[in-house]
Chain A
Amino acid sequence: MKLLKLIPDHTNIHFLRWRVPFYVASLVLMALSITLVATRGLNMGVDFVGGQMIRVTFTQSAAAPVAALREEVTALGYGEPIIQQFGKPNEVSIRMKLPEGSDKDAGLADAMAKRITGDIKVRHADVRVDGVDSVSGKVSKELGWTAFKALGLAALAVAAYIWIRFEWQFGVGALFALVHDVTLTLGLFAVTQMEFDLNIVAALLTLIGYSLNDTIVVYDRIRENLKKYRKMPLPELLDLSVNETLARTIVTSLSMLITLVALLLLGPDVIFGFTAAITLGIFVGTYSSIYMAAPILIWLKVTPSSFVPTESALEKQERLAREQS
């Protein structure tokens, strides 16, 4: 059987030659993402802003009558809903602010959910209510804070781990690559206005894990080559390392994409946003481990001597003892 070879042997692409333009492009994209998140904002789900979300499916229709639905729900007098399709066009989520005073009387939120679902059911015979989420303002603030903490801690913890296992420059590089990946993904959510909820935070955490996967594989090879070719200029050495791991990078990314695309196209609609975030993250993560994580080592002046065993404390003691005697 002739085996598939996506990357020919002895491939030697000078990736690092374009490091400056790519870095500039990435920094611009990051700035754009931050600006977008700041100005346009993320489409926060009830997890983070509180409120009520009702999910319904119009089982017999090709698409949900969003405009009619908006009018009908608004007419009930609870304020204007945010209605959004997710997964398939006939599935929508209806988000409402919780009624005034519902932090004291939980019955108000219930009454609202009952009225809205009751009204929709009367008007549309094929509606199936798939779920109701109510999150109070207090809980949503806590959820937001813990999500933020989890993301921040995860990034710092893995960077610290890499610092311990490699060198501080590698830790900084990995952290920067992570920030890059998460920022661009957030940017995507700001552009598409897909709903940003707790699941997406889980997706971002996964992204941190898997984007690092790539970075670590490249870094591991750089470390190995730094010990092996002590005289080789750093840019050349980085190119060599990236090329040597390129076949693995491509095959693994493709493996992940195969399963993710299956999940995107055939999987449960409710986690479409979640899967989309991870899929994008695979692309961005692969790119960033080559163009963000590697070149930064040049600027942070990694040297082969970082990995040459130096005199240990014990050896120093022995040497001093020898010199004295």
Chain B
Amino acid sequence: MLDFPRWKQTFYWLLAAVAMLASLPSLATFANLAWPSSLPRPEVNLGLDLAGGSHILLEASPDQVRRQRLEAMDEDVRQRLKQNAPDVRIGDVSTKDGTVSFMVEDAAQVDKAREAVLPLTSGAGVTGQRDWDIQMLDGTRIVLTPTQAGIDLAVSQAMDTATEVVRKRIDALGTREPTIIRQGADRIVVQVPGLKDPAALKSLLGQTAKLEFKLVDTTASQADIAQGIAPPGSEIVPYADAQSGGGAAAIAVKRLGGIKGDSLTNAQQTNDQRNNQPVVSITFDQAGGAKFAKLTTENVNKPFAIILDGKVISAPNINEPILGGSAQISGNFTTESANQLAIALRSGALPVDLKVVEERSVGPDLGADSIKKGGIAMLVGTTALAVFILFTYGRFGVYACCALIVNVLMILGIMAIANTTLTLPGIAGFVLTIGAAVDANVLINERIREERHRGRRVVQSVEMGYKEASRAIFDANITNVIAAALMFFFGSGPVKGFAVVLVIGIITSVFTAVTMTRMWVANWLRRARPSELAL
């Protein structure tokens, strides 16, 4: 037990030295000292509760993705049959009960219709399942049912796109080091440190930014619109607010013949030259520009509605054909909201609506305060503890204290190397680990005392002390790791940070409090050959 060959000693010291060195940049930061830029700089990240900033959990509704897929499939089926099997006449297309189904008028053509729509489905998942099941009903009806694998895949793809869009939007705000992670099947976690105005971020993320241009149906009477009755081929769309409608709450627009605003190459907040109101200038890509030119040429002097996320933001008149591929969106904007819309349009529409289900924002002052107080508490606590241990165990107390210092630096260093995050409860975990690390030394030293009292010789007492105490130390630490692991898996942000510190602390404290002190004690025993232990 007390045999430490030179290579082993070198190895242990090397291990400790590397970890301790890695803690220096973080310590320099805490002490407000500059760290030379030529040296590597592993550093402990500060959690949002220490650095200040916002944590936002966004959730999408898989139902919406499901609905969108049905609608898209409805349209695809019609188009596909029109193009590839124009002689097949179909009717009664419906998207009820979560399926797309249609009648084939001539029963003899059912197989042909089936052949035609088959390429609309594709493989999903690893089991070779397809994303839609195609069945025939009563010999004349074809039913397309979305499979679970297909839905899962669609949701997953939608979330991937959404995450990308969210990233673009946050980058456009110019914040530093945002963290954007998909969580579970339908959630995205956004963490932005040092954010001043979380409200702006949230309204930006909450905006789906689905832009549409649709012709206004001028035949609809105000009374019908108010009752929600739309003329055939039209639909009622509400205004975004009372002001943009000029008193009206909703407007009727034609369902078909509109343009989607997803073919934009640019969007900027500008001011309208006539009245200096904030507007958003958009530029279409080539195909979009051509469509827009066609729409405006064919409908001069008619009003068209600019619809954002299912709400009309304005319904201006088309005064002249717009041929240049760029246009202005006017509406009831402030400079800020126009700028936000421009960012949202530039970064593309979200494939699903995202809503904020959890938000935690911490002001930067509180975090700085917490770091300062946590540091002081740690310094005072450690010093008081060291004094107590020194007075209780003398020389063995000195070893324990040295182990404590190495331990603190090692935890910090390993956290820096592993790029983990220090949170507020993490500081408490740190302090707690220090208290608990001493427990190992207490167990060992008490045991050595005991063995000595039983009349064992000095070297033998030390050896027995380490050996007998190790069993309890091992069991106790394993149970702590179990508790910490559960904290890690079930906890959220700050609690996770706490668990990480605990686990790192448990490992380093066994290394320092057991292995390192044993090495030091062994060296001392060999050198001084004491005949009595002051314990």
Contacts and interface: CB of A to CB of B under 8 A. Distances in A.
Nearest to A140: B358
Contacts of B376: 266-267
A132 interface: yes
B357 interface: yes
Contacts of A202: 425, 487, 491, 495, 498-499
A150 B435 contact: no
A209 B362 contact: no
- Between A107, A206, A255, A269, the greatest number of chain B beta carbons within 10 A of the residue's beta carbon is seen for A255
B377 A267 contact: yes
Interface string A181-199: 0000000000000000011
Interface residues of B, number: 79
B424 A268 contact: yes
A57 B366 contact: yes
B507 interface: no
Contacts of B388: 4, 254-255, 258
Contacts of A255: 385, 388-389, 435, 438-439, 442
Interface in B359-377: 359-363, 365-366, 369-370, 373-374, 376-377
B491 A252 contact: no
Given A149-B490, A157-B486, A266-B376, A3 B431 contact: no
Contacts of A25: none
B351 interface: no
A130 B495 contact: no
Contacts of A165: 475
Given A206-B502, A255-B385, A263 B428 contact: yes
Nearest to B53: A131
5 contacts: A106-B355, A128-B365, A199-B425, A220-B471, A260-B431
B164 interface: no
Interface stretch (A229-237, A270-278, A305-313): A270-278
Interface stretch (B131-139, B297-305, B390-398): B390-398
Given A206-B502, A216-B475, A270-B424, A259 B491 contact: no
Contacts of A4: 388, 391-392
B10 interface: no
Interface in B102-121: none
Contacts of A256: 432, 435-436, 439
A275 B381 CA distance: 13
B480 A213 contact: yes
B478 interface: yes
B359 A132 contact: yes
A259 B432 contact: yes
A174 to B, nearest CB: 9
B388 to A, nearest CB: 6
Given A139-B57, A247-B446, A213 B486 contact: no
Contacts of B391: 1, 3-4
A128 B373 CA distance: 18
A262 B377 contact: yes
